[in-house]
Structure 1
Amino acid sequence: MPFRWLAIVSICILLAQDIHAQPKVAKPENSPEMPPQTQHISGHELDAAPSREEQLHTLMKMIADMKTHLATLEQQAESTTNPEKKKELQKESENLTKEIEELEIAFGELATGGKSIASLSLREEQFDWQKGIQALVRPLFDSLKRMTQRARDIEKMTIQQNQYRAQKKMATDALAHLQKLLPQVKKPAVKRKLTALQKQWQEKQEEAQNQLDRLKIQLEQTAIPAKTSYKRFIETFKEFASGHGLTLMLATGGFILTFFLFTRLGQLISRSTRRGQKTKNRPLVQVIALLIKILAVIASLLVAALILSALGDWLLLTVLFLITILIAWGLRNSLPHVIKEIYTMLGMGSIHEGQRIMYNGLPYRINTLNIYSILENPLLRGSTVYIPLSYLIDMNSRPPALHEPWFPSRENDFVILDGDIFGKVLTQTPENVSMQVLGAIKTYATTDYLALNPRNLSQEGFAIPIVFGLDYSHQGEIIETIVPQLHTFLTEQLEQQAFYPHMESLMVDFNEAAASSLNLLIVASFTGAAAADYWAIRRCLQRSAVSACNRYGWGIPFNQLMVHIAPTEA
């Protein structure tokens, strides 16, 4: 635009110079003198500015000349082989093209009285994100500024008060010094100068004192409330309740109501979808419920924002917007994790409902796979746990095997731990297992209890093996005679015991020929109902075997050592 008007002004000046610089035509000798009136008119015409038509003609001529020059430059650029020269010509052509465009616009503006067709084109406003953020948070800062105005005014006046006190002290010190110096001065000129300086310092002192008095009154009026705290609290509360408080209450109510309606709608959809649905379709129902919850949050935020916008509370709207942005920014890294959770809920992950999973070293059954999944071990008391799905998506589950136990024991079962620790299970939870051992209660951590390899006597029954040895003197009769006799005798003895009804079988057979004895193997099998008599059964079998030896005269060997002595020479 400056170039266009500069071109127009330059053209006007050149035209004016051409008119005034025309040479005077020589007057013929025989020509009559022109009358003064005619000479005056001619001079007025020479001083007149060029017409609008002449200006437009001049611009057209300049545009035509520049276009001719542009065509010449383009021809030279096409014909030259020097890259640098060609680049220079192309740059000059671009500059000349811009000048031609400026002159074309100037021609149009001159013809239309300053109007330009180029100004009719739509201008795209460039987005400035800094200005956008400033416009967004300005209401928040303005409100905070109003809320802290009183404290900031007090702080400002206190700082000014300290400054004027320092000025007053400086003026007082200067006046004191001048008061001592004036009596000592003898020269009138110096004394007059010092007197004027003293007057200036006195004015500064008075000005500082006046400012201190003013600030003192203002501080008293600002710092000391004119009304009681109770009345001020009531007025502040009324102002808040009729302003931001009312808006906040309405926006919060809209948020809660919308969220409740969507949540209720999701529950109705889930119930209607689950009716008649198979178990394999449950993941789809869960995903629908999750999407409805997300939609409920988004719709609730939109309703709250619409209420704030309709009531014109830009402060709370800005706060809501910033909170939403912060939450979205905080969740940006969680999006891949959420997608993985949705895949898992759809049954496309590594864990599935109804399968077996190891959690904290214990087997659990996945009852429900949801945002908060439900795990349960049916044999542990209080084992139902609610676990966030995010804790489980990296684990693996598998279908349980047929008759696979969820725990090696149940409450009131009798077990034997490593080290022949025999006891009755009283309680078992995911944290501890309590047992009654030798009349006392002993508690193990559940993982430690499993590490001791418990043998359950109560579930599938048990067998008690006993190895009993006889002397080698019975070698000829031990298989054919002693084994049947011992079996019969043990059966008679066991029939007299209270646990005999729970015995399933009794086996007596030859086991091995040991170094010092011929060993028999006695195995008595019982159901789990006899588990409490485990040690009594062992003692009964040992006692009955010894009684049989006493009755039938069987010798019980002991460890022997045979020493061969070489004969001595006579």
Structure 2
Amino acid sequence: MKWLLFIFLLMVAVPGFASVNVDALLKTNRNVEWLDKEIEKINLNLQGKHSFSTRRALEKQMDELKGRRKKVFLQFLEESSGVDIEALSEGKPDKKEKLLDEVQDILLPLLESIKRLSAKPRQLEKIKNDISKLHELINNRKKAKESLLNIQHDEQFISTLPLINQGIDELENEIIKLEIELDGKTRLIKKEEAGKTSFITRLRAFISDFVKTKGKNLFFSLTTLVLLYWVLLVSRNQVFKFQIFTGKLEFIRKTLMTLYSSISLTIAFMGAILVLYVLNDWLLLTLIVVILIGVLWSLKQYLPRYIGEARLILNIGPVKEGELIIWEGVPYLVKSLGFSATLCNPLLSGGMLRIPVQEFFSKQSRKISGNEALFPTQKDDWIRFDDGSIGQVKEQTPEVVSVLKMGGGIKTYNTKDFFGMGLENITKGFVISEVLGLDYSIQAEVLNQVVPVFFKKMKEYLYQESYIRDFALNFNCEFHSAGGSSLNLVVFLECGGELCKYYYKIKRDIQRNFVRIANEENLTIPFEQMTIHQG
């Protein structure tokens, strides 16, 4: 009964004792004793004379046994104390950590330079973490030592007493070492915090160091890049100015120029990298390589777009230089194709447009015919609308067209809508036709007598005006039709463009002279009649 009470009190008083397996401890103790005997045998064997290869084999066997003995002893401490001593030890890195280490080795120059600016804060943080971990290790070892002291005098573990005493001594030594390390870390963090500098000061020092070292190397590298590319571009202009790239070879000229430019840029870029290699600046070299990898990776998803742009730039896509394209409802000439396309319409003010080349993926150009105009009008041209009114173009741009209506104000049209209206440009000439009616009482004489009289007198009266006499191209007067209430004559006057501003005056002169001739010849001008049928 007393023995059961002792076991109960021991389970309550000793942390982790309830989980102690006596049979497992005895088995572990026997393994340690056997390993000690084997180590002793090899140690005695090594004291004799042996060949070099035999001695090496015995030493290797000795190291293996000592390693096994250390693992078994650690297992004994954990089983006897109920404390996971190895949990706080540094474990082996897994595959992910190894891969991360390899990546860090590759990017080490870049990472070291970037981390230099925050070295002090990170160092203080590391010391604080180390202090926290040391506290945990000390508490862990003290807990294990306390557990071993509690079972040291238990009769169940009398056979393992030497191993328990050894464990207590080793834990005590390790606690002392950890406390010494903890004291050193504590004093170090106090010293670092006392001499701590501001972030601005460290940033200023970093920039100053960069300008003196990396900045100089970067300047040499960029200078090499610019000079090499400039020299190669000058050479390109000299090569492609020869006449061999005209005629049938004109279509490959731009392709070869683009290829030459790409090779030139690559050579200049490699030259800049070579300068950094010669200067042994692995930081900037690594940074450039990382940027290059990033650019190449970004090309993966944009590759179809870049291929389309390349076809347009090389002048082998659906839109070609020198051809006509409709852009926002207005025709333009494709003047050049590059990363941005230049569209030109010389008939529009400000008719030079620069458009990103990717906007032309869904467009199609065509060859322009010899006499095809890029716009129906020019500035100051006269136009005649469908309702018979006329106006003069005062301004036309890619966005709007302003027209001064004769007898009215200025009207503004959207350029796309204006282009699609199908207006008549009368600047170079036009025809005025006026239909005039006479009474049916002259039906018998109208063809042989009346029409010739009107032709002679109308031309005579009209040509008395100097502006008509100077710029009228042709005149005619003839029978037009038999209307519902009159016999109709028509007067045609073909005018030069100089008469545009007299357009309405000429129409009034024709009407006025018609009435004058009718009065002279005692002819009746009927009024329009409406016939009403009564059912």
Whether the aligned pair in 2 keeps the contact of 1:418 and 1:452 (CA below 8 Å) is no
Distance across 2 between alignment mates of 1:563 and 1:148: 105
Q: How many Å separate the matches in 1 of 2:230 and 2:209? A: 30
Does 1:253 find its partner at 2:227?
no
1:240 to 210, 213, 234: 210
State the AA in 1 paired with 2:114: L
Q: Residue 73 of structure 2 aligns with which residue?
A: none
Pair 477,342 (structure 1): closer, same or farther in 2 beyond 3 Å: same
For the 8 Å contact 1:354–1:365, the answer to whether it is kept is yes
Distance 1:470 1:222, change over 3 A: same
**C-alpha distance 420-512 of structure 1, shift in aligned 2 (>3 A):** closer
The verdict on how the C-alpha distance between 1:416 and 1:292 changes in structure 2, with shifts beyond 3 A counting, is same
Cα deviation for residue 457 of structure 1 reads 0.7
Rate the CA distance shift 1:390–1:211 in 2: closer, same or farther, 3 A: closer
Unaligned runs of 5+ in 2: 1-97, 134-181
| 1:303 aligned partner | 271
Asked if 1 retains the 8 angstrom alpha-carbon contact of 2:127 and 2:185, the reply is no
**Against the structure 1 CA distance between its residues 334 and 520, is the aligned structure 2 distance closer, same or farther, given a 3 Å change threshold?**
same
Matches for 1:206-355 after TM superposition, within 5 Å:
218-223=192-197, 236-271=206-241, 273=242, 275=243, 277-340=245-308, 343=311, 348-355=316-323
Shift of 1:136: 2.1
Cα shift at 1:462 = 0.8
Partner of 1:407: 375
Aligned counterpart, 1:107:
none
Partner of 2:495: 526
> Quick one: which amino acid aligns to residue 239 of structure 1?
D
Secondary structure of the corresponding residue to residue 524 of structure 2: coil
Distance in 1 between residues matched to 2:213 and 2:237, nearest whole Å:
36
Equivalent of 1:452 in 404, 421, 426: 421
In structure 1, how many angstroms separate the alpha carbons of the residues matched to 2:125 and 2:412? Answer: 67
SS of residue paired to 2:466: coil
Whether the 8 Å contact between 1:161 and 1:215 is mirrored in structure 2 is no
Q: 1:564 to 1:322 in 2, by over 3 A?
A: closer
- Using the TM superposition, name which of 412-421 and 252-261 deviates more: 412-421
TM-score by length of 2: 0.64
For 2:265 and 2:532, how far apart are their aligned partners in 1?
A: 95
| Aligned-partner Cα distance in 2 for 1:551–1:286 | 76
State yes or no: 1:515 paired with 2:484. Answer: yes
2:460 equivalent in structure 1: 492
CA–CA separation in structure 1 for the residues paired with 2:130 and 2:492: 105
Higher RCO structure, 1 or 2 (CA under 8 Å, sep 6+): 2
Instruction: Tell me the distance in 2 between the aligned counterparts of 1:234 and 1:563.
Output: 103
Instruction: Measure, in 1, the Cα distance between the counterparts of 2:130 and 2:313.
Output: 67
Distance 2:196 2:100 in 1: 36
Distance 1:556 1:311 in 2: 105
What is the alpha-carbon distance in structure 1 between the residues aligned to residue 512 and residue 127 of structure 2? Answer: 106
CA contact (8 A) 1:504 1:525 kept: yes
Q: Is structure 2 residue 425 aligned with structure 1 residue 425?
A: no
- Equivalent positions of 1:102-141 (< 5 A) are 133-141=103-111
1:499 partner SS: helix
The answer to whether structure 1 residue 541 and structure 2 residue 515 are counterparts is no
What does the per-residue CA deviation read over 1:7-36, in whole Å, with 9 as the maximum and x for residues that have no partner?
A: xxxxxxxxxxxxxxxxxxxxxxxxxxxxxx
Q: Could you say if the C-alpha distance between residues 161 and 452 of structure 1 is closer, same or farther in structure 2, counting changes exceeding 3 Å?
A: farther
Paired residue secondary structure (1:506): strand
1:395 equivalent to 2:363? Answer yes
Contact 1:284 1:345 in 2 (8 A): no
Alignment partners' CA distance in 1, 2:131 and 2:466: 104
Alpha-carbon contact 1:415-1:456 (below 8 Å) kept: yes
Cα offset, 1:403, TM superposition: 2.2
Structure 1 residues 409 and 152, CA, compared in 2 at 3 Å: closer, same or farther?
Answer: same
Letter in 2 for 1:401: S
Shift of 1:285: 1.9
For these two proteins, the number of residue pairs brought into alignment is 388
Q: 1:493 to 1:130 in 2, by over 3 A?
A: farther
Deviation at 1:458, TM superposition (A): 0.5
Q: Is the 8 A contact 1:415 1:454 kept in 2?
A: yes
Q: Distance in 2 between matches of 1:510 and 1:333?
A: 75
Letter in 2 for 1:266: R
CA distance in structure 2 between the partners assigned to 1:293 and 1:219 by the alignment: 56
Q: 2:114 aligns with which of 120, 144, 149?
A: 144
Flag the 1:536–1:220 CA change in 2: closer, same or farther, 3 A: farther
Is contact 1:286-1:370 (8 Å) kept?
Answer: no
* 5+ long unaligned stretches in structure 1: 1-127, 164-207
Percent of paired sites with the same residue: 29
CA offsets per residue over residues 282-330 of structure 1, 9 Å max, x none?
Answer: 3322112111221122222222222222222222112101111111222
Tell me, in whole angstroms, the C-alpha distance in 2 between the residues paired with 1:381 and 1:528: 23
Q: CA deviation at 1:444?
A: 2.2
Q: Secondary structure at the match of 1:524?
A: strand
Distance in 2 (alpha carbons) for counterparts of 1:211 and 1:255: 50
Matching residue within 323, 330, 352 for 1:362 = 330
Name the SS for the 2:449 alignment partner.
helix
TM-score calculated relative to the size of structure 1? 0.60
CA distance in 1, matches of 2:396, 2:299: 40
Alpha-carbon shift at residue 224 of structure 1 (Å): 5.6
Q: Secondary structure at the match of 1:222?
A: coil
Offset, 1:157: 8.2
Supply the AA of the counterpart residue of 1:243.
T
Question: For each residue in 1:374-411, what CA deviation from the matched residue of structure 2 results, as whole angstroms up to 9, or x when unmatched?
Answer: 33223223323344444335422222234222211111
| Selected match of 2:343 from 359, 375, 392 | 375
Instruction: Please tell me the root mean square deviation across aligned C-alpha atoms, in Å.
Output: 3.6
Tell me: CA distance 1:428–1:280, structure 2 relative to 1, closer, same or farther (3 Å): farther
Q: Name the structure 1 match of 2:475.
A: 506
User: How much does 1:355 deviate?
Assistant: 2.5
Q: Distance in 2 between matches of 1:443 and 1:158?
A: 76
Paired AA for residue 490 in structure 2:
L
State the Cα deviation string for residues 468-518 of structure 1 (Å, max 9, x = none).
111112212221111111111211121122331211122222222121111
Contact preservation (8 Å) 2:341, 2:356: yes
Is 1:385 aligned with 2:353?
A: yes
**Contact 1:283-1:346 within 8 A present in 2 as well:** no
Give the one of 515, 526, 530 matched to 1:557. 526
1:417-446 per-residue CA deviation (whole Å, 9 max, x = no partner) reads 344442111222222222222464333221
Tell me by how many angstroms 1:565 deviates. Answer: 8.9
Residue 171 of structure 2: aligned partner: none
Give the Cα–Cα distance (whole angstroms) in 2 for the partners of residues 374 and 553 of structure 1: 68
Q: 1:247–1:313: 8 Å Cα contact kept in structure 2?
A: yes
Between 511-520 and 339-348, the greater mean CA deviation after superposition: 339-348
